[in-house]
Amino acid sequence: MASVAWAVLKVLLLLPTQTWSPVGAGNPPDCDSPLASALPRSSFSSSSELSSSHGPGFSRLNRRDGAGGWTPLVSNKYQWLQIDLGERMEVTAVATQGGYGSSDWVTSYLLMFSDGGRNWKQYRREESIWGFPGNTNADSVVHYRLQPPFEARFLRFLPLAWNPRGRIGMRIEVYGCAYKSEVVYFDGQSALLYTLDKKPLKPIRDVISLKFKAMQSNGILLHREGQHGNHITLELIKGKLVFFLNSGNAKLPSTIAPVTLTLGSLLDDQHWHSVLIELLDTQVNFTVDKHTHHFQAKGDSSNLDLNFEISFGGILSPGRSRAFTRKSFHGCLENLYYNGVDVTELAKKHKPQILMMELAHGLQDQNLKISLTVCHQTTQ
């Protein structure tokens, strides 16, 4: 049975690895390399072009070949310029110019990004729905550092306004660095169980961090229990992320009501979303996509002893949580960390703390490979 579990886990861990800095470390100091300048012309595409010499392949920053930049056939708000970076990258900044030596430049634009080139998300500047400031002439370079940065393979620049005495004209650059993606795929019928240290001494502070991309609007992302029946659960319900915390002792009568917290919406949009959970005694910090909620759980901190085990993708606690079982997660989890420990790396090294199990029988390895291919395509 164990060999079957590891065979399944081996299939689930076939996704490629790139380069990344651990959670909480921020961007590497040198994560500002130009990413577009070395790309071939075939990596650039657009909604249209005024002529063959105004094509998207001429849109690299400071280049003067062709007509000196990209210009669409018609200047309106339905035009776009797209870059394929070749793989998912960490993007930290963008820069724009107008068409070389012309009266064609863009004064404001939207920035969109995507993993697969089909499902797009707008980058919002500090929650603003408005676009980026563009250029005031053809040749000056306008840089914009992205706070926070994002990860994507495809980027689109959508002009909103341009020089009224000219046309849309753009030359662009994208800055960043390579990104490591340790991804595990869950098909809605499997889960990964990480057994924690059962010693009486528990960590002063527990930190769980991950990213997820959901293919369905409902499912358990993680579930963690303690020795006394107390638990925390993170569940996607109708596209919203719900955090459940029960800090009471299930073996004793208790008047402490479980805590339920909801953050985010439309999180089943097949884009990556980040989660950070920090627990210090009964104090909890719950963060989803940079939005943090702080709260204090009621009850004795000794009851909030969760130093037992944690499952990702579903609940693997028969006999203790039968009444709590809900729909398992269908999608991808990325960069799973518990107190700085790379859980995915432990799984790849076949460490005894990790167990991969199926929640329903009848799933064949070949089906897992097919589903994994779909997940791999969406993450890229």
Q: What residue segments make up the domains of the chain, in order of their start? A: 33-178, 183-248+256-358
pLDDT of 20 reads 32
* Fold agreement between 33-178 and 183-248+256-358: yes
Alpha-carbon distance 188 to 110, whole Å? 36
Alpha-carbon distance 209 to 198, whole Å? 21
| CA–centroid distance for 127 within its chain | 17
Alpha-carbon distance 211 to 192, whole Å? 15
Residue 1 one-letter amino acid: M
pLDDT of 1 reads 43
pTM of full prediction above 0.85: no
Highest-scoring range by mean pLDDT, 1-5, 316-320, 333-337: 333-337
135 Ramachandran zone, left/alpha/beta (phi>0; psi -120 to 50): beta
How sure is the predictor about 224, in pLDDT bands with cuts at 50, 70 and 90?
Answer: confident
DSSP 8-state secondary structure symbol assigned to residue 43: G
| pLDDT exceeds cutoff 70 at 136 | yes
338-342 long-range Cβ contacts below 8 angstroms, 24+ apart: 338/194, 338/196, 338/206, 338/207, 338/208, 338/310, 339/203, 339/205, 339/206, 339/207, 340/22, 340/207, 342/22, 342/182
Q: What is the CATH number of domain 33-178?
A: 2.60.120.260
How sure is the predictor about 77, in pLDDT bands with cuts at 50, 70 and 90?
Answer: very high
The helix (H) or strand (E) run that includes residue 192 is: strand 190-195
Q: Higher confidence at residue 20 or residue 334?
A: 334
At 302, is the secondary structure helix, strand, or coil? helix
Q: What is the CATH number of domain 183-248+256-358?
A: 2.60.120.200
Mean pLDDT of 257-283: 85
Alpha-carbon distance 160 to 76, whole Å? 8
The helix (H) or strand (E) run that includes residue 241 is: strand 240-246
How sure is the predictor about 191, in pLDDT bands with cuts at 50, 70 and 90?
Answer: confident
pLDDT of 22 reads 33
Please report how the helices 2-12 and 365-379 are oriented relative to each other, as an axis angle in degrees rounded to 10: 30
Mean pLDDT of 150-154: 94
Count of beta carbons in the 10 Å neighbourhood of residue 188: 20
Mean pLDDT of 50-78: 97
Contact of 108 with 132, CB cutoff 8 Å: yes
pLDDT of 351 reads 84
What six digits make up the tokens of 236? 């996607």
Contact of 352 with 186, CB cutoff 8 Å: no
Of the candidate ranges 17-31, 213-227, 288-302, the one whose mean pLDDT is the lowest = 17-31
Mean pLDDT of 104-131: 87
How sure is the predictor about 379, in pLDDT bands with cuts at 50, 70 and 90?
Answer: very low
